[in-house]
Structure 1
């Protein structure tokens, strides 16, 4: 390896280590950084009747070791973690570790079942393309990835809600809540596995046509290799380049588990972390968040190790990549986003004409009528009005997050060696986990949700920006400019920035629906907008307790989110809108 390559790898490792240390430090300093009096929180958790006198609070601070400053707090916590001692719960006084181990065991069991669903669904989705390619009957530049793309765009909390309404409430096939019998695992595993299976199926299905079009496949076929041999060889060629993305899908399971466990009342580590954040049980929250973060980091490490193993020793350092798939008929692909945008605009425009906060207790949970076209919620508020005004609380906030991510990514795209490691760590922290951590620091709010999503939404844009900067700097006309003595600042402002800013802005716009779904997921978990805000995720969560009596109250925000998911998918498949592989 060259000196430049070794220096770049060292920079990545340092960046990754610094980012991981920063996350661990933030978790360890939660009692200090939360902005709340930890002594008062502990007193309220253990005794709501005792008077919080200065003497009592000071005694609690001494007992917790919080009177020595932030560094002693962090050092004592890290020393306890290394000994396997995560402290004692502020809520019940018991040791934290057994609760974390129990929750982690439940979550790993659920993730294992979800992984089975993921693999089965991915195989089903890409099997037709693989069979047709092996038989030589595959035509065109794409497989059948439309269904996979739709499934991949659905957030886990939305899938969980729809499964709960259809398979449990309406059909009564499966239990809606609990973790006592094997059948209790079916709905949560499906809710986690369906989006992950769609993502994996789409990745493989998009890559297979490009591999089947490579010259060696025709050579093998002419040499008499059968369909089975060709199929195995093509998979071995395609999978190593996709394994890092498989790791991101596995990371997504850890974040999705928070919402799924909440919907189905599964006592896993995600629900434990969310409950600890709501009750301000900081020792339990520290241990649960640390377990979730390390689980995501471990998934990424295992994915990279699997990729190196599949490539073999001779190619372990090679950048094995596949061409971006070719899109099909542009006119047909433009109709879908136009239709989704039109329906969303019509619903939002109609809802904006109504009052989302007007309470009519006499019309609680009323069905659709002339006065309330889509019914009312548990307080008699118009569902259509809340859906319309919720666009500002969901899509509007997402637009601000998207703009901030664009500016940050444009800046750090010029420093890929210093930020790529941090990007790896950010990819290993799903929005739900970031939301729990930020909510512990800032409290559940729209601002907290925006910060949490922004912290994990920049890596893809930054990777695209770094690729554009590298390509632009290597262009022949810039080499000529440097040769004739053009100042670096002039080259940067007149050539590099214009060439990077435009494509990156289009990429950022395409990510807007996905960011809006992430904001909605935090609202659904109670970590984002607070009542009475009509944010779509929060509205969906508020309607779930009454889903048997008034399913329309849940289906309307779910429908808006479904349209947003379809818009995200259709925009990502427009001709010429696919970003460069990171």
Structure 2
């Protein structure tokens, strides 16, 4: 038993060193350090939204017509909307919705794109041709335009918006993984595995795929901000979240009618989208530096 703990400790030492180096690389840049703090705060806000929001009942159901379109004050620090609901509370709950939908949409795109790219690059031949030609068809459309078309076909809802984004974004991951897999397929350890009779499916998912994930992780971390922006755009167009869901894009869409008289209604959700997208893009750059030694600046 003691030997098992000793062996486990020794095996974890390189991992801890890598984690310490990764944290150092992310933490040494001031912007990335601030971004890490903001993302941690956003996650905490999303998790504890019902306890952080001063008026959690305003997020969905409760209305107060007597307090409609009040400017920011000590009672409502970000003002109220056209139904007298606290805008700060709705933005807090919108944080949960935006992060959750972005993670699900990116996760679905990864589940579709990564295995297809590994199979295409690992097998080659007719499988590669079929998968990549289908990928090229999807890539021929701008992602936002394709997402709008799919969401309009499926019907306006937040779940359909997530599915539309996943369908329009998976080809990017397929192309990234396929390019990496083609390169790794020619390396000696893959040839050695083939020479001893290892099944190709095992080689793809045990040898090729783990060595192709670094660029996908970087791309996915940067795509979270883009997906949040896309979901906000779909909700703004009426194809995503529906009232009374406190989604940021939907808040901005609703606020257009009151923009001249209630500047705060559209300003604060817009600031939330801007900050969230920015910090995820900055963290994506930091993760790229951690995973790609060629981009490190010591």
Q: TM-score range by the shorter chain?
A: 0.7 to 0.9
Residue-by-residue CA offset, 1:249-297 (whole Å, 9 max, x unaligned): xxxxxxxxxxxxxxxxxxxxxxxxxxxxxxxxxxxxxxxxxxxxxxxxx
Gaps of 5+ in 2: 1-24, 121-127
Q: 1:557 maps to which residue?
A: 269
290, 294, 297: which one aligns with 1:576: 290
1:454–1:532 Cα change, 3 Å = same
Q: 1:399 maps to which residue?
A: 103
Q: 1:331 maps to which residue?
A: 29
Q: 1:424 maps to which residue?
A: 136
- Give the distance between the partners of 1:443 and 1:437, measured in 2 at CA: 10
1:370–1:354 Cα change, 3 Å = farther
The alpha-carbon deviation at position 577 of structure 1 amounts to 5.2
The alpha-carbon deviation at position 373 of structure 1 amounts to 1.7
Residue-by-residue CA offset, 1:443-474 (whole Å, 9 max, x unaligned): 21112212221121112211111122222212
- Give the distance between the partners of 1:330 and 1:475, measured in 2 at CA: 35
Q: Normalization by structure 1: what TM-score? A: 0.40
CA RMSD, aligned part only? 2.7
Instruction: Indicate conservation of the 8 Å contact 2:45/2:96, yes or no.
Output: no
* Matched residue SS, 1:374: coil
1:500–1:347 Cα change, 3 Å = same
Residue-by-residue CA offset, 1:522-578 (whole Å, 9 max, x unaligned): 001111111111111011111121111111111111011001221232023211357
1:431–1:527 Cα change, 3 Å = farther
Residues 1:354 and 2:56 are matched in the alignment: yes
Q: 1:291 maps to which residue?
A: none
208, 225, 230: which one aligns with 1:513: 225
1:434–1:490 Cα change, 3 Å = closer
* Matched residue SS, 2:141: coil
In our comparison, the structure showing a higher alpha carbon Rg is: 1
Residues 1:456 and 2:168 are matched in the alignment: yes
Residues 1:369 and 2:83 are matched in the alignment: no
- Give the distance between the partners of 2:184 and 2:53, measured in 1 at CA: 46
Residues 1:341 and 2:39 are matched in the alignment: yes
177, 196, 218: which one aligns with 1:484: 196
- Give the distance between the partners of 2:28 and 2:141, measured in 1 at CA: 35
- Give the distance between the partners of 1:475 and 1:333, measured in 2 at CA: 38
* Matched residue SS, 2:161: helix
- Give the distance between the partners of 2:291 and 2:262, measured in 1 at CA: 40
Kindly indicate which of the two structures has a greater share of residues assigned to helix: 2
* Matched residue SS, 2:36: helix
- Give the distance between the partners of 2:136 and 2:54, measured in 1 at CA: 41
- Give the distance between the partners of 1:540 and 1:515, measured in 2 at CA: 17
- Give the distance between the partners of 2:54 and 2:145, measured in 1 at CA: 33
Q: 2:260 maps to which residue?
A: 548
* Matched residue SS, 1:527: coil
- Give the distance between the partners of 1:338 and 1:328, measured in 2 at CA: 8
The alpha-carbon deviation at position 411 of structure 1 amounts to 1.7
Residue-by-residue CA offset, 1:402-441 (whole Å, 9 max, x unaligned): 1111111112102243233333332343344334423443
* Matched residue SS, 1:404: helix
1:480–1:330 Cα change, 3 Å = farther
Gaps of 5+ in 1: 1-326
Q: Normalization by structure 2: what TM-score? A: 0.75
- Give the distance between the partners of 1:552 and 1:523, measured in 2 at CA: 19
* Matched residue SS, 2:56: coil
Count of residue pairs brought into register by the alignment: 253
1:532–1:577 Cα change, 3 Å = farther
* Matched residue SS, 1:523: helix
401, 408, 411: which one aligns with 2:115: 411
Residue-by-residue CA offset, 1:359-417 (whole Å, 9 max, x unaligned): 11111011122322211011111111111111232221121111111111112102243
1:353–1:509 Cα change, 3 Å = farther
- Give the distance between the partners of 2:80 and 2:148, measured in 1 at CA: 30
- Give the distance between the partners of 2:191 and 2:156, measured in 1 at CA: 51
- Give the distance between the partners of 1:352 and 1:428, measured in 2 at CA: 46
Q: 1:379 maps to which residue?
A: 83
Instruction: Indicate conservation of the 8 Å contact 1:529/1:538, yes or no.
Output: yes
Instruction: Indicate conservation of the 8 Å contact 1:536/1:557, yes or no.
Output: yes
Instruction: Indicate conservation of the 8 Å contact 1:344/1:560, yes or no.
Output: no
